[in-house]
Amino acid sequence: MTELNRRHLLAAAAIGAGAGALPFRSARAQAANTIRIGVMNDQSGPYRDIGGPNGVTMAQIAAQEFGNRGFNVEVIGADHQNKPDVGANLARQWYDQGVDVILDVPTSSVGLAVNQVAREKNKVYINVGAATADLTGPQCSPVTAHWVYDTYMLAKSTGGAMVRAGGKRWFFITADYAFGHALERDTTNFVRAAGGSVAGSVRYPFPATTDFSSFLLQAQASRAEVIGLCNAGQDTINSIKQAAEFGLTRRGVKIAALLMFIADVHALGLEQGQGLVMTESFYWDLNDRTRAFSRRVQPRLNQRAMPNMVTAGNYSATLHYLKAVADMGAAAAKGPGVEVMNRMKAMPVEDEAFGRGTLRQDGRMMIPSYLFEVKKPSESTGPWDYLKLLQTTPADEAWRPLSEGGCPLVRS
């Protein structure tokens, strides 16, 4: 390297540093009547397709459709990289710098971390993307709502229904960490309660397992009728693909993906996904309202994806939050989060995506859950026509009863 080159580099670095310093100076104008919504999710990792940029877009669509009712709405998005410390740090910064509500936050560990910050700052937090039922259980908070699904609801719907449909003998393949253990425990309870049995289970090291063949062979050797996958994202897709390669599904073994989204089915394809059973609280092709809603928003989403449970949940949650803000006034809504959340709980939830719902005392949103089976390629009429409805669990039966969650808010 000659001196000259180094000077060039130095000059380039100086310009870069100058550009980097700009965000420091752009002091954010904080109008008193601007409501700021922060959508925090995975924008670059394994859960990107579940929420990601489309999750932010759906919140924006909701804000636009809501219109201006005396206050402006600004939606911002950020990537939490699935790291609890990044999420907690970002949440702290957002709340300190005038964000009024944090939305989405998939990945249970990050969801719980943001929950702590929201409680400390007394600001509204609506979790849409995370699975853990602890958010409305032991860790429930007066400023938190949990919108579309949780581990209890998944286990109850998928576990119970599959046993009733004849899948008595289960084998679990479980990601060896807290989320996987919780899902396995909950599902085991429902399988046993419905008269089924568990032939065995295997825990695989998480993360960094990509080869599931030995676990699938163990499952096959146990002569289980159902293989329960207590994992998520890419792990689920890999296990299903490999189960298809081993011919397990063709031989009549049912796979219960306990946490799966339509985006995963899209990635997997019907050829390998067919016959899978999964639970969701939203499907675009459920009824006239969901169809109209989904066709309306689809053109605005990345890769023209149909909205899924989580992105539709972001829409629904944003809309309900804004209704509460309009009801109490933007100035009051910028105050303590507890009062905004109490107002949200007092108002009925009503939108095209989920129909009618109520927000329970512990923050649980009460909507029906649906059990789906992935269609055969021959049954599908086109892109995104992937699921057929097997069973509906009404809102009052789908979720963990209020008294069993151990939420401290309920006793008071």
Partner 1 sequence: MASETTVGAMPAGVHESHGVWGFTKAQLTALVLLVAFLAIGPFFLYPVFLMKLLCFALFACAFNLLIGYVGLLSFGHAAYFGMGGYIAGHAAKVWGLTPELAIVAGAIVAGFQGWVFGWIAIRRQGIYFAMITLALAQMIYFLCVQAPFTGGEDGIQAIPRGSLFGSISLSNDMAMYWFVAAVFLFGFLMIHRIIHSPYGQVLKAIRENEPRATSLGYRTDDYKLVAFILSATLAGVAGATKSLVFGIATLTDVHWSMSGEVVLMTLVGGLGTVFGPVVGAAVIVTMQNYLAEMGAWVTVIQGGIFVTVVLAFRRGIVGEIANVFRVKL
The residue ranges that bind partner 1 (CB under 8 A) are 1, 5-6, 9, 13, 20, 23-24, 43-44, 78-79, 83-86, 88-90, 92-93, 96-97, 108-109, 112-113, 116-117, 120, 177-179, 206
Comparing CB distances to partner 1, the nearer of 114 and 324 is: 114
Comparing CB distances to partner 1, the nearer of 30 and 97 is: 97
Comparing CB distances to partner 1, the nearer of 22 and 252 is: 22
Least distance between partner 1 and beta carbon 330 (Å): 25
Comparing CB distances to partner 1, the nearer of 96 and 245 is: 96
Comparing CB distances to partner 1, the nearer of 5 and 412 is: 5
Comparing CB distances to partner 1, the nearer of 97 and 287 is: 97
Least distance between partner 1 and beta carbon 181 (Å): 9
Least distance between partner 1 and beta carbon 232 (Å): 12
Least distance between partner 1 and beta carbon 54 (Å): 15
Least distance between partner 1 and beta carbon 48 (Å): 10
Least distance between partner 1 and beta carbon 179 (Å): 7
The 3-state secondary structure of the chain reads CCHHHHHHHHHHHHHHHHHHHHHHHCCCCCCCCEEEEEEEECCCCCCCCCCHHHHHHHHHHHHHHHCCCCCEEEEEEEECCCCHHHHHHHHHHHHHCCCCEEEECCCHHHHHHHHHHHHHHCCEEEECCCCCHHHHCCCCCCCEEECCCCHHHHHHHHHHHHHHCCCCEEEEEEECCHHHHHHHHHHHHHHHHCCCEEEEEEEECCCCCCCCHHHHHHHHHCCCCEEEEECCHHHHHHHHHHHHHCCCCCCCCEEEECCCCHHHHHHHCHHHHCCCEEEECCCCCCCHHHHHHHHHHHHHCHHHCCCCHHHHHHHHHHHHHHHHHHHHCHHHHCCCHHHHHHHHHHCCEEECCCEEEEECCCCEEECCEEEEEECCHHHCCCCCCCEEEEEEECHHHHCCCHHHCCCHHHHC
